[in-house]
Structure 1
């Protein structure tokens, strides 16, 4: 049985950004997101295989970033306050140094009001593919420049680029960080 995220439409409640932040802080054992349309999403936990794959993705991105010192890497525990109103948490994210350091210390401490430059979403057994595609489109609408939706269930990866059509590749494949993450190469051969 596949367990999907629980969505609650809270548009009529008009929950403020601070109330959403407090909801997340007071329920730290749950993982919340909020779509640009105002739907509150309670995310189910992932299993061991997905958790291990996610950790590998963050590690690869983090190692590249330590070597290049071009920006900041973030885990799936980080919620970004997107310009289009969504509060989203990609499985891995990266932001260019200048953009991150332009935020105030308070903005960096809470849910940063910024769209990452790059995001990765890894589909787990509990994820609905269409919901993830909508989430990826929400990232692009918010200004994310490059995003990868890795789909082990269908042995594919979808590459999202700002203002371009989605490219679909079959696994195994090698992904390049293009001009966003210069020199970053992710080999997806064991999915």
Structure 2
């Protein structure tokens, strides 16, 4: 495939008005992974493919957005493991051929085990198999208050993406969250009885996975900077004045597993042990 497209496509001079095939999209995506790319003065992290076959450049994320995305993905994966869903959690590095000509990469997505088991090798390894989609998607971004009513705003574009792309009639997406960690607001997307998508603004409150992600609740204060800012610092530069962590005045605490009597130096290590060391516990 490399030889086939090398002369045809100049990665440094991509034409965003041109129509690209699925194979060309895969080739371009493979190149972007291993190099820096700038288009119209803006860095590009990866691409999505529109339903008209045009490339959609996706810029690198800010630290705050990536913090939020990573925390949501980690919390969702913890739920996935703890409740034995055996599904797959993906981030924006995992794309979906959600319709015949469109490839998208949600910030966070969840695909149930039964759907993953039905995927062919071509669907798993390329974008050339039959279209498929997750049941849950999350997009994270920040929006000015004034942009909510502006039809050409970033909010309007992502809102349209949620409704028209993720919740298109032929996809399996059932639940979507749009999260703005900067201005602390959230929106929930679902389908009505006629399979039409609708949106509800939820403010800055915990979000329920409802029947689509049973028992999963996103505790909103776990995805913010405040959790990091309020946590005790373990940075040697900030703790040097109060003495070394090996100081005899610092008392080490241990926790014990009630199933096998093993001891651990932190609750985190105990939880990890219960998850992976005792299949019948979590």
Answer yes or no: same fold by TM over 0.5: yes
**What is the deviation of 1:109?**
1.8
Q: Does 1:187 align with 2:219?
A: yes
Could you tell me which residue of structure 2 aligns to residue 178 of structure 1? 210
Higher share of residues assigned strand: 1
Aligned partner of 2:103 among 84, 87, 112: 87
* Contact map agreement 2:142 2:183 (CA 8 A) in 1: no
Aligned partner of 1:54 among 60, 69, 73: 69
**Residues 69 and 179 from structure 1, CA distance in 2 versus in 1: closer, same or farther, beyond 3 angstroms?**
same
Could you tell me which residue of structure 1 aligns to residue 156 of structure 2? 130
SS in structure 2 of the partner of residue 32 of structure 1:
strand
Aligned partner of 2:201 among 164, 168, 181: 168
Could you tell me which residue of structure 2 aligns to residue 148 of structure 1? 177
* Contact map agreement 2:178 2:187 (CA 8 A) in 1: yes
Give deviations 1:120-179, integer Å, cap 9, x for gaps: 111157x922221122111001331110000234422111112342111111x1111111
**What is the deviation of 1:73?**
0.8
**Residues 187 and 84 from structure 1, CA distance in 2 versus in 1: closer, same or farther, beyond 3 angstroms?**
farther
**Residues 94 and 81 from structure 1, CA distance in 2 versus in 1: closer, same or farther, beyond 3 angstroms?**
same
**What is the deviation of 1:68?**
1.9
Compute the RMSD of aligned alpha carbons.
2.1
2-structure distance, mates of 1:39, 1:157 = 29
Question: Which structure has the higher relative contact order (CA within 8 Å, separation 6+)?
Answer: 1
Task: Provide the aligned length of Structure 1 versus Structure 2.
Answer: 180
**What is the deviation of 1:35?**
2.2
**What is the deviation of 1:66?**
0.9
Q: TM-score, normalised to structure 1's length? A: 0.85
**What is the deviation of 1:44?**
0.9
Q: Give the structure with higher Rg (CA).
A: 2
1-structure distance, mates of 2:100, 2:140 = 22
1-structure distance, mates of 2:62, 2:94 = 19
Q: TM-score, normalised to structure 2's length? A: 0.59
* Runs (5+) with no aligned partner, structure 2: 1-14, 36-44, 144-152, 225-282
* Contact map agreement 2:22 2:101 (CA 8 A) in 1: no
